[in-house]
Amino acid sequence: MSSFGASLRSLRRSAGLTIEQLAEASGVSGRAISDMERGHSRAPQTRTLAALAKGLGLGDDRLAVLEDAAREQRARNTGDRPRVCELPRAVADFVGRAAELDLVRRHLVRSHLSAEGERGPAPVVVVHGQAGLGKTAFALRVAGDLGDRFPDGRFYLDLRGTDAEPMTVGEALVRLLRALEMSPRRIAETDEERSSQLRSVLRDRRCLLVLDNAAGEAQVRPLLPADGAGVAVVTSRRVLGGLEGVLRIPLPPFAAAESAELLATIAAQAVGPGVGQVADLCGHLPLALRIAGTRLATRPAWTVDHLVTRLADADRRLALLALGDTGVATAFALSHAQLSGPARTLFRRLAHVPGVRFSPEIAAVLAGIGADDAVDGLEELVELGLLMPEPDGWVRYRFHDLIRLYAAQRLGIEEPPGVRAETDQRLTRWLLETAIVAGRWFEPGYGKLPDDYDGLIPLATEKEAAEWLQAEAENWLGALRQAAADGRHQLVVDVAEALHWFSDSMVFWEGWYEVYGLSRAAAAELPDRHQEVTHLNYHSWAATHAARRPEEGADIAMAAYELAAAIGDVKEQGWALTYAGTASRFAGQLDRALPLYLRAQQLAADAGDHDAYVQHFQGLGLLLAAMGRREESLEMFAATLRELDVRPVSPRPAASARAGAHTFAAEVLADLGRWPEARRQAELALPLVQRTGDNSLVGQVHLTLGRARGALGEPEEARAELIRALELLEETHFRKGVELARALLMQ
């Protein structure tokens, strides 16, 4: 027995306490006290010694005796054997993660005693996510914050999960048992027996294990405490989904405020608006931010703007985000090295995707595999933290910005230019062909799926077509850019034409300005002047509605009118003046808009364009309402409905016109304070606008219903309508409606 052990036993007996009673009084486990008294463990740490003294009720004299014995034993043990599993140096300038830290603390410090007084399951936390998120720093912060709650020790073990040969289970068990001061002679021979020994020791000791950089479930499972006082925090790039009964903390990139705080903590010159740009270019990844901040801190002559300029070069960004033996690309490479061959191919080819998000079908096209195999490959990338699943109900994925750059780097290294070009063309062709098929669901001359369609995407209904076009807008637009750059002019025009009617369901999407700018330029390169004037008109519409540039929209429309007049295209002359009138109305030039609308309607009648003729009543109605001539505007909306009953208008334009007539009539009636009539028109409009798929119109109808129900003494119903209106109008960027809905909700 050591002198410390003998002193502790003597003091405990003098106090009339059993080991169990001292354990309860001090918070130090009975197993740990027993090991100290028998000399099977080293002298306790300062916190443990203080807890024991408090439990024993020691005065200064007897406490000094115990402290002297502890110092004597530490001196004898110095050089006896190296300490193992000591916590490494924590990050001194740790910032952020407040919500995650609070969640982990509450989970780890909960009582492990059930109502019957029996030990409950030991808490285990798995902190996971891609490279560079600061998982190790987070775990060490937890260990530092909770040190006083684990008087029997806090132990750290790097499991080397990203190495070519991770630490074996046997080695990990031996290290932990030695750290817990089990004599090497007592450590069992087999991994199964060692795991049992570890669980037995942890059952009675209030210890915290940090198991860092785990390779997988099979490596971690034998190291975890079962029941009792021990707890574990595991970090891994993998989700470790096979571990049951654990709290999983997925670390996301930093929030903007956290990124700014870290940069400012590291570099004194990290102030001003450029800090946000640095954070964005670093993808709010803590490792990248730390390297960028250190570059600033070690180069006093650099400004934030200078760093922004350097980071803005995508081809050099990863090289800049490396310092000494640390680098973002190096961290990603460790995960990349663990991928299977097919997953590596898929990873690098995903760099071809134009947008940020993508579906498994896009991955299948890129890799030349089936959709199910693509999902398997994508999930392997997710498991290793190289890809993130989208939590939007669809099976979709996205890259972190810096991992996307790394994938592009691997693509350039691992595939020759010819293969890259063929893959890129295959994806571009597939995206645009699918967009044409989906868009034609909305065209009056089509309105169904082609009989011979056998594509990867299910487009059996208009709803499925709309959902795909909305979800993949970034990607088919990127493909359209590529086709335009390649000089595939007719394909660009065909895609834009196929999407013309669908665009009414996303009127305020800014992308339409680019879509029809590309198709206008492409049509100008083709010999068909009728095609050119059509796409000039489409671009005018997009400039006014999507880009909110009504003056530019009016100029484009008049250029279209001149070309249409020159080639004798009466129908497009009418549409050009319609778009010019709408642009003038949006610009507040109401007196200029009126004659344009009237002339456009006459041209539509002359050309026998029934679809346009009926639409003009709505334009006139909205214009007259804006001019304060509300009763006349109501007559225009009524005329829309009458003409729809007698003219052979195509089904989709007819549905759009009917929905608009009721919607806008309801708004005008609300402005007139004719609330029962306004509610009735809005109720008629609601199912019609829902079928069109235009959420901006749906939002406007809910807004009118909210106004009407509020005025008619239905406050709860009115508030529900206004909340729904605000959701839809914010989604579609309809600013005027958003402002009105917010104002009404504030009342």
Contact (Cβ atoms closer than 8 angstroms) between residue 507 and residue 696: yes
Please work out, in degrees rounded to the nearest 5, the angle formed at the alpha carbon of residue 77 by the alpha carbons of 75 and 78.
65
Please work out, in degrees rounded to the nearest 5, the angle formed at the alpha carbon of residue 17 by the alpha carbons of 15 and 21.
135
Dihedral angle computed from the Cα positions of residues 98, 99, 105 and 111, in that order, rounded to the nearest 10 degrees = 150
492 residue type, one letter: V
484 residue type, one letter: A
What is the per-residue pLDDT for 80? 45
Q: Determine the structural domain holding residue 393 and report its residue range.
A: 333-414
Contact (Cβ atoms closer than 8 angstroms) between residue 352 and residue 475: no
The backbone torsions φ and ψ at residue 158, rounded to the nearest 5 degrees and listed phi first, read -85, 115
- Domain with residue 59: its CATH number is 1.10.260.40
**List of residues 6+ apart from 658 with CB closer than 8 A:** 640, 641, 644, 688
Nearest one of 198, 146, 152 to 173, comparing CA atoms: 198
Nearest one of 275, 220, 212, 224 to 242, comparing CA atoms: 220
Q: Examine the fold and report which residue of 395, 414, 433 is the final residue of a domain before the chain moves on.
A: 414
* 3-state SS assignment for residue 154: strand
State the pairing for strand pair 388-389/357-358: unpaired
The backbone torsions φ and ψ at residue 477, rounded to the nearest 5 degrees and listed phi first, read -70, -40
What is the per-residue pLDDT for 724? 94
* Domain co-membership, 316 together with 364: no
Give this prediction's pTM.
0.79
State the pairing for strand pair 208-212/231-236: parallel
What is the per-residue pLDDT for 112? 46
What is the per-residue pLDDT for 493? 98
Q: Which residues of the chain have pLDDT under 50?
A: 78-82, 111-118
477: left (phi over 0), alpha (psi -120 to 50) or beta: alpha
* 3-state SS assignment for residue 322: strand
Contact (Cβ atoms closer than 8 angstroms) between residue 585 and residue 623: yes
Contact (Cβ atoms closer than 8 angstroms) between residue 678 and residue 630: no
Contact (Cβ atoms closer than 8 angstroms) between residue 732 and residue 696: yes
* Domain co-membership, 204 together with 150: yes
DSSP category for residue 121: B
**CA dist 604 to 601, 618, 637, Å?**
5, 14, 18
Q: Give exposure, 309-327, as e/b (b: 16+ Cβ within 10 Å).
A: ebbeeeeebbebbbeeeeb
Q: Say if 443 falls within a structural domain.
A: no
Nearest one of 9, 34, 13, 14 to 23, comparing CA atoms: 34
- Residue-wise pLDDT for 486-501, tens only, equals 999 999 999 999 999 9
What is the per-residue pLDDT for 116? 39
Q: Examine the fold and report which residue of 305, 324, 343 is the final residue of a domain before the chain moves on.
A: 324
* Domain co-membership, 299 together with 348: no
Nearest one of 474, 475, 495 to 484, comparing CA atoms: 495
* Domain co-membership, 132 together with 233: yes
Contact (Cβ atoms closer than 8 angstroms) between residue 484 and residue 518: yes
Tokens of 303: 């400004």
Number of domains in the chain: 4
State the pairing for strand pair 154-158/247-250: unpaired
* Domain co-membership, 230 together with 272: no
Cα–Cα distance, 523 to 502 (Å, whole number): 20
* Domain co-membership, 143 together with 169: yes
- Domain with residue 193: its CATH number is 3.40.50.300
Contact (Cβ atoms closer than 8 angstroms) between residue 273 and residue 253: no
* 3-state SS assignment for residue 212: strand
Q: Say if 28 falls within a structural domain.
A: yes
Cα–Cα distance, 86 to 90 (Å, whole number): 12
Q: Say if 26 falls within a structural domain.
A: yes
Nearest one of 534, 452, 546, 545 to 493, comparing CA atoms: 534
680 residue type, one letter: R
Q: Say if 11 falls within a structural domain.
A: yes
State the pairing for strand pair 322-323/326-327: antiparallel
State the pairing for strand pair 397-398/388-389: antiparallel
* Domain co-membership, 244 together with 260: no
What is the per-residue pLDDT for 148? 80
Contact (Cβ atoms closer than 8 angstroms) between residue 346 and residue 364: no
Contact (Cβ atoms closer than 8 angstroms) between residue 357 and residue 398: yes
**CA dist 634 to 578, 622, 628, 655, 663, Å?**
20, 9, 11, 19, 11
Q: How far is CA 201 from the centre of its chain?
A: 42
Cα–Cα distance, 283 to 285 (Å, whole number): 5
Tokens of 452: 């011979």
- Residue-wise pLDDT for 605-640, tens only, equals 999 999 999 989 999 999 999 999 999 999 999 999
Q: Say if 636 falls within a structural domain.
A: no
* Domain co-membership, 212 together with 319: no
* Domain co-membership, 224 together with 272: no
Q: How many CB atoms lie within 10 A of CB 23?
A: 21
Cα–Cα distance, 470 to 685 (Å, whole number): 24
Q: Examine the fold and report which residue of 362, 396, 414 is the final residue of a domain before the chain moves on.
A: 414
Please work out, in degrees rounded to the nearest 5, the angle formed at the alpha carbon of residue 350 by the alpha carbons of 348 and 351.
75
Cα–Cα distance, 489 to 569 (Å, whole number): 22
What is the per-residue pLDDT for 259? 95
DSSP codes of every residue in 10-45: HHHHHTT--HHHHHHHHS--HHHHHHHHTT-SPPPP
Cα–Cα distance, 446 to 453 (Å, whole number): 14
Tokens of 601: 């309607």
* 3-state SS assignment for residue 101: helix
* Domain co-membership, 236 together with 264: no
* Domain co-membership, 108 together with 135: yes
Q: Say if 714 falls within a structural domain.
A: no
Q: Say if 408 falls within a structural domain.
A: yes
Terminal-to-terminal C-alpha distance of the chain:
78
* 3-state SS assignment for residue 113: strand
Percent of the chain at pLDDT above 70? 95
- The dihedral sign for the CA sequence 24, 26, 31, 33: negative
DSSP codes of every residue in 247-267: EEEEPPPPPHHHHHHHHHHH-
Q: Give exposure, 348-385, as e/b (b: 16+ Cβ within 10 Å).
A: bbbbbbbbebbbbbbbbbbbebebebbbebbbbbbbbb
* Domain co-membership, 159 together with 245: yes
599 residue type, one letter: R
Q: Say if 196 falls within a structural domain.
A: yes
**If you search the block for the tokens 């007819």, which residue do you land on?**
654
Per residue, the 3-state secondary structure of 382-447, as one string, reads: HHCCCCEECCCCCCCEECCHHHHHHHHHHHHHHCCHHHHHHHHHHHHHHHHHHHHHHHHHHCCCCC
Nearest one of 745, 659, 741 to 699, comparing CA atoms: 741
